[in-house]
């Protein structure tokens, strides 16, 4: 043990020395636009994945409370032994209906959905082609499978095509990508991916964690944004961001695919069922968004307000009109200082630097929510402009 502790201590010191130590700010309120920290400080929150602002929605909370009373705290079982309640089946049906797919399967998280997918579907005769900047859980999921692995350059369709050509002897080819890349707010070039998939007879997989529920005309995610509803073969997503923010993930697609995942997918077979309050809160969110675009329209208008005014003020904002708005600064220390100064003025934002993003491309990632008021957004913009002028980032 002493040898292990010694080597851990060295590693911890190295993390600190590299300036990449992640501190956790403790929140004493629910997740929402205006949060209270444990030290009593109030802050406007601009760094949650609470895109639709439903994490503290009253209807969502009461649905969870009712389910707690009616169905209990948890199942003490995996789904196939004695852990499936009617609400699990209902939620899977709602998710499939929302995406216009034949069926869906719930997991404890999208990390698990990604971990359980590739190994179940692909054999050593297959090839998976994965964007180099895909989420860690896709990378880990792919690692677990026996298929041949190709990493194509980020959003580089020439490289993807070359790698598809190289894999024509495989039984199956699966192209795997994030729908929206969370560090950049950029969208995968889905139309071109679909064209290449057709040309080279490949399947498509999209992780739509940063798109489901709010991106595209009706919030159906990346395929909706490109007016290509129903075009992706397999979609994985999370219930832990826009869809209430509690926990959970899923895969949706063809019936046979979901049937096989239920039989073989290891994180599904060997991990506990989602707790009833979590299922009920996600189910209530589905009801709120399935027939109405009111909340996502508010998110769109908040996003436009923030992006257009920040650009006018002279900031460079990366991304494709998405509520993830990375404000590009460049220098890592300046970015940290900027984020700290914003916090002093009650605006909670996070700076990201190497190794999370490439060297010299440090940024403050702002995430807009439907829960922000126009006042909140304007207040944040004013604070950004004030501090950026002081730090000589803009004139
Ligand atoms: C693109 C992407 N995929 C998967 C996940 C994992 O989702 P979950 O929190 O449901 O495990 C995340 C969460 O950060 C994500 O951003």
The CATH class that applies to domain 25-55+293-391 reads alpha beta
The tokens describing 325, both together, are 């708005």
Give the pLDDT of residue 299.
98
Q: Identify whether the C-beta of residue 46 lies closer than 8 Å to the C-beta of residue 35.
A: no
Residue 41 has which token pair? Answer: 């400080």
Domain ranges of the chain: 25-55+293-391, 58-291
Probe residue for ligand 1, chosen from 50, 105, 108, 110 as the CB with the greatest number of ligand atoms within 8 Å:
110
pLDDT at 244 over 80: yes
User: Which tens digits make up the pLDDT trace of 170-205?
Assistant: 999 999 999 999 999 999 999 999 999 999 999 999
**CATH topology classification for 58-291:** 3.40.640
Residue 240 Cα: closest atom of ligand 1: 10
pLDDT for 18 equals 81
Q: CA torsion 50→223→128→95, rounded to 10°? A: 60
| Ligand 1 centroid, distance to 209 Cα (angstroms) | 6
From residue 59, alpha-carbon distances to 66, 97, 175, 198, 372 in Å are 11, 21, 38, 43, 18
Q: What pLDDT digit, counting tens, does each position of 347-368 carry?
A: 999 999 988 898 999 999 999 9
If you average pLDDT over every residue of the chain, what do you get?
A: 97
Which ligand 1 atom minimizes the distance to the CA of 134?
Answer: 1
* Per-residue pLDDT at 19 exceeds 80: no
Assign 12 to helix, strand or coil.
helix
- Are residues 169 and 200 in contact, defined by beta-carbon separation less than 8 angstroms? no
Which is the closest atom of ligand 1 to the Cα of 238?
10
pLDDT of residue 287: 97
Measured distance CA(117)–CA(102) in Å, rounded: 17
pLDDT (0 to 100) of residue 293: 94
Confidence grade of residue 20 (pLDDT, cut at 50, 70, 90): confident
| Banded model confidence at residue 22, pLDDT cuts 50, 70, 90 | confident
Peptide bond into 355 cis (omega under 30): yes
Which two tokens mark 212? 């489901």
The pLDDT confidence band at residue 291, using thresholds 50, 70 and 90, is: confident
**Per-residue model confidence as pLDDT tens digits over 312-327:** 999 999 998 999 999 9
Q: Answer yes or no: is pLDDT of 162 > 80.
A: yes
249 Cα to the center of ligand 1, angstroms? 8
Is it the case that residue 23 has pLDDT exceeding 90?
Answer: no
Q: What is the pTM of this model?
A: 0.96
At residue 376, the pLDDT reads 98
CA-to-CA separations, 258 to 158, 252, 254, 369, in angstroms, rounded: 32, 7, 6, 32
Q: Which residues are catalytic?
A: 182, 210, 241
Q: What pLDDT score does 355 carry?
A: 85
The residue behind tokens 């992780």 is 207
Mean pLDDT for 152-180 is 98
Whether pLDDT at 284 is above 80? yes
Mean pLDDT, rounded, for 211-223: 97
Closest to 132 in 3D by CA, of 109, 95, 159: 159
> pLDDT-based confidence at 247, cuts 50/70/90?
very high
Task: Choose which residue among 105, 108, 109, 111 to substitute to test ligand 1 binding: the one with the highest number of ligand atoms within 8 A of its C-beta.
Answer: 111
Which residues does a 6 A CB cutoff place in the pocket of ligand 1? 109-111, 114, 135, 137, 178, 182, 207, 209-210, 238, 240, 249
């Amino acid at each position: 043990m002493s040898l292990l502790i010694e080597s851990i201590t060295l590693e911890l010191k190295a993390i600190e020395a590299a300036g990449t130590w992640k501190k956790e700010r403790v929140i004493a309120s629910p997740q929402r636009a205006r949060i209270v920290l444990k030290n009593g400080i109030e802050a406007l929150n601009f760094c949650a994945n609470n895109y639709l602002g439903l994490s503290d929605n009253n209807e969502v909370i009461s649905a969870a409370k009712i389910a707690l009373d009616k169905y209990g705290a948890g199942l003490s079982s995996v789904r196939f032994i004695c852990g499936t309640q009617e609400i699990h089946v209902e939620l899977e049906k709602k998710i499939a209906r929302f995406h216009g797919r034949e069926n869906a399967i719930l997991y404890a998280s999208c990390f698990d959905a990604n971990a359980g997918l590739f190994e179940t579907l692909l054999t050593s005769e297959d090839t998976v082609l994965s964007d180099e900047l895909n989420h860690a859980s896709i990378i880990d999921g792919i690692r677990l499978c026996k298929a041949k692995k190709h990493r194509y350059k980020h959003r580089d369709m020439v490289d993807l095509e070359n790698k598809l050509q190289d894999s024509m002897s495989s039984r199956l080819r699966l192209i795997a990508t994030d729908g929206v890349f969370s560090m950049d707010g950029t969208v995968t070039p889905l139309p071109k991916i679909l064209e290449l998939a057709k040309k080279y007879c490949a399947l498509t997989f999209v992780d739509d964690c940063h798109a489901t529920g709010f991106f595209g005309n009706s919030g159906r995610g990346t395929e909706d944004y490109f007016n290509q509803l129903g075009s992706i073969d397999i979609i994985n997503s999370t219930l832990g961001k826009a869809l209430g923010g509690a926990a959970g993930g899923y895969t949706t697609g063809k019936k046979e695919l979901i049937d096989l995942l239920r039989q073989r997918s290891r994180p599904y077979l060997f991990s506990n069922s989602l707790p009833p309050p979590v299922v009920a809160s996600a189910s209530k969110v589905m009801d709120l968004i399935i027939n109405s675009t009111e909340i996502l329209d508010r998110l769109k208008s908040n996003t436009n307000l923030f992006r257009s005014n920040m650009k006018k003020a002279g900031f460079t904002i990366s991304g494709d009109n998405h509520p993830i708005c990375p404000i590009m600064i460049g220098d890592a220390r300046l970015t940290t200082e900027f984020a700290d100064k914003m916090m002093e003025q009650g605006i909670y934002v996070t700076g990201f630097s190497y190794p999370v993003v490439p060297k010299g491309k440090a940024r403050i990632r702002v995430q807009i929510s439907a829960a922000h008021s126009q006042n909140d957004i304007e207040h944040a913009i004013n604070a950004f402009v004030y501090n950026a002028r002081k730090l000589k980032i803009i004139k």
